[in-house]
Structure 1
Amino acid sequence: MAHPTPDPNDDGGSVYDGLLEHHEVAGDDSQWAFGTDFEDPLAGMDTTVPDDVDAAELATYCLLLGDDALVLSQRLAEWSSNAPDLEEDIALSNIALDLLGQARLLLARAAAADPAVVPALPEGSPAPVEDALAFFRDAADFRCTRFVEGPNGDFAQTIARLLLFATVRLAAFERLGDHADPVLAAIAAKGVKELTYHRDFAGRWFLTLAQGTEESRRRLLAGLAQVWPLYPELAEAYDVGPEVDVVLDQVFAVSGVERPEAGRRVGGEHHTEALSRLLAEMQSVARAHPLGVW
């Protein structure tokens, strides 16, 4: 193979020189901090809470939506380089990034609505509010549903969980497009297109696995049975209507899968041990170096 002709104007510098030169400007280390060089996710929006909206309730609800997205995003990111093939690897990674973007917006909205939800940080910490909420809250302070907390299981179990989650969340976001808080309404409207893709991706794979081989069908049914007991908690938290049942019944019917029996919300602790383990890994660097810049 022929080597490219050297550029006579090339001084032999590294492709990273631009980063280093920028970093050497006096007092300019912003791109290395937690995220302080990124634009405020709510920049340009009036974050004043409307008079007819309870700020504390709005913040709590945004934390629920944001924490669900953050935790499931982290779970889906675990498939990176581990999915059945490259296309699904990229698809799951993109879905994880979509949810991470939703989490950032929702956590920022929660903090703007009620600054009291933001944990106290060490003096001088560069973490913006959404990072503070993601990295410096303990598991007990998270508002996510247990539905998103557990390990992925195999690919079929991940598909079953993603189908249920995306169907419920899409229905909720479509409804929230008319919310009295214009910021939450705008966040929901932005997320509808993303969640439609998430639901359709999971639905296609649900059908493929159900009608594939005996092994793929066995794994799908086992995965559905694993995630279904916590589904009522998810549906209750999002307060969705019959439109969700209509969609799921269609997917089950086309796939030839019997809908699991309606169950009650599973009792027990507000969170599972799996959430604590996930947060221990996700938050480790930020907590070890709360004043760190990189």
Structure 2
Amino acid sequence: MPADLLTHVLRQADRTLVLSHRLAEWLTHAPELEEDMALANISLDLLGQARHLYTYAGKLEGRGHDEDHFAYDRDAADFRNPLIVEQPNGDFAVTMARQVLHDHAALLYWESMRSSTDETLAALAARAVNETRFHLRHSTGWLIRLGDGTDESHRRAQAGLDTMWPYAGELLGADDEDDLRTAGLIGPRFDGAWRAAVGATVAEATLTMPPEPPTRSGGLCGEHSEHLAPMLKVMQGLARAHPGATW
């Protein structure tokens, strides 16, 4: 069954929310104070994108749900984020490898969405492109620094890439969204451009691209790893402890 626009918007909203939360877990744990600030800013950018997308999802759904409903009132099986963003942060090199894979895809996605026939998504894309360019500069800079650094940092960077690579395929979109592409609501697939961009970064970092294509999937359809539910339990704890409360 083809996906509708609401499903697509929720996939993007869930992607940005879950990744925002994962990056927020680094606060006060990053290797440098400046990096604490950088990761906090990126996390907030992603949270802002999620809020706009959830608000629009509520309008598309037409049931009076706001952004907080989508973030706090749904269970793990209701989320439609790609598996890669829910994976544990691991060490700093693992996180940066994930960010490189994600940020290259996110930039290509938002660049294509500037031409969407949906005015709301096109306007959101115009803002998100600038934010994502900064995110990509940050993550690629770190992966290159780690990969082309000491023997230990190189080993960790390669291990991070190998760890996150199997989950990266869902960042390239879903096969059930072809009707949305035909209608011009979302942009064309960018598999080739993504692989080329990631490959260039990996080469500059003196790392090796994993030989096998990414194969782990299911998140876009609500089939998640064991890591999402515990993360949501923490994220949703206060809101669920006091349902309907105003602050």
TM-score by length of 2: 0.88
- What amino acid does structure 2 have at the position aligned with 1:201? H
1:130 is displaced (CA, Å) by 0.3
CA gap 1:155/1:272 in 2 versus in 1, 3 angstroms: same
Instruction: Name the structure where helix makes up a greater proportion of residues.
Output: 2
Structure 2 match to 1:82: 29
Of residues 210, 226, 234 in structure 2, which corresponds to 1:273? 226
- What amino acid does structure 2 have at the position aligned with 1:101? G
CA distance in structure 2 between the partners assigned to 1:57 and 1:236 by the alignment: 13
1:142 is displaced (CA, Å) by 0.7
Could you tell me whether the CA contact under 8 Å between 2:27 and 2:40 is conserved in 1?
Answer: yes
CA distance in structure 1 between the partners assigned to 2:246 and 2:56 by the alignment: 25
Could you tell me whether the CA contact under 8 Å between 2:10 and 2:57 is conserved in 1?
Answer: yes
Could you tell me whether the CA contact under 8 Å between 1:229 and 1:266 is conserved in 2?
Answer: yes
CA gap 1:267/1:74 in 2 versus in 1, 3 angstroms: closer
CA gap 1:57/1:116 in 2 versus in 1, 3 angstroms: farther
Alignment of 1:79-228 (within 5 A): 79-116=26-63, 118=65, 129-228=66-165
Task: Tell me the SS of whatever aligns to 1:273.
Answer: coil
Alignment of 1:34-49 (within 5 A): none
Residues 121-168 of structure 1: CA deviation (Å, up to 9, x unaligned):
xxxxxxxx0011100011111111111011100000000000110100
Could you tell me whether the CA contact under 8 Å between 2:103 and 2:136 is conserved in 1?
Answer: yes
1:57 is displaced (CA, Å) by 1.3
- What amino acid does structure 2 have at the position aligned with 1:91? A
Of residues 52, 71, 91 in structure 1, which corresponds to 2:18? 71
- What amino acid does structure 2 have at the position aligned with 1:106? L
Could you tell me whether the CA contact under 8 Å between 1:110 and 1:117 is conserved in 2?
Answer: no
CA distance in structure 1 between the partners assigned to 2:189 and 2:227 by the alignment: 25
CA gap 1:232/1:291 in 2 versus in 1, 3 angstroms: closer
1:273 is displaced (CA, Å) by 1.5
Could you tell me whether the CA contact under 8 Å between 1:160 and 1:206 is conserved in 2?
Answer: yes
CA distance in structure 2 between the partners assigned to 1:136 and 1:290 by the alignment: 9
1:250 aligns to 2:200 (yes or no): yes
Structure 2 match to 1:60: 7
- The structure showing larger relative contact order (alpha-carbon pairs under 8 Å, at least 6 residues apart) is 2
- What amino acid does structure 1 have at the position aligned with 2:225? T
- Whichever of the two has the greater Rg, that structure is 1
**Structure 1 gap segments, 5+ residues each:** 1-53, 119-128
CA distance in structure 2 between the partners assigned to 1:226 and 1:94 by the alignment: 25
Task: Tell me the SS of whatever aligns to 1:290.
Answer: coil
Could you tell me whether the CA contact under 8 Å between 2:148 and 2:154 is conserved in 1?
Answer: yes
CA distance in structure 2 between the partners assigned to 1:240 and 1:116 by the alignment: 33
**Structure 2 gap segments, 5+ residues each:** 175-187
CA gap 1:117/1:239 in 2 versus in 1, 3 angstroms: farther
Structure 2 match to 1:46: none
Structure 2 match to 1:23: none
Residues 72-117 of structure 1: CA deviation (Å, up to 9, x unaligned):
0000000110000101110001000000000000111111112249
Task: Tell me the SS of whatever aligns to 2:4.
Answer: helix
CA distance in structure 1 between the partners assigned to 2:230 and 2:127 by the alignment: 31
CA distance in structure 1 between the partners assigned to 2:158 and 2:27 by the alignment: 24
Paired residues, number: 230
CA gap 1:226/1:264 in 2 versus in 1, 3 angstroms: closer
Residues 177-232 of structure 1: CA deviation (Å, up to 9, x unaligned):
11111001111111000001111100010110011111111111111111111112
- What amino acid does structure 2 have at the position aligned with 1:259? M
RMSD value over aligned CA atoms? Answer: 1.8
- What amino acid does structure 2 have at the position aligned with 1:263? P
1:235 is displaced (CA, Å) by 2.1
1:264 is displaced (CA, Å) by 4.3
1:262 is displaced (CA, Å) by 3.4
CA gap 1:98/1:267 in 2 versus in 1, 3 angstroms: closer
Structure 1 match to 2:179: none
1:246 is displaced (CA, Å) by 2.1
CA distance in structure 1 between the partners assigned to 2:10 and 2:131 by the alignment: 19
1:267 is displaced (CA, Å) by 5.5
Task: Tell me the SS of whatever aligns to 1:178.
Answer: coil
CA distance in structure 1 between the partners assigned to 2:161 and 2:141 by the alignment: 15
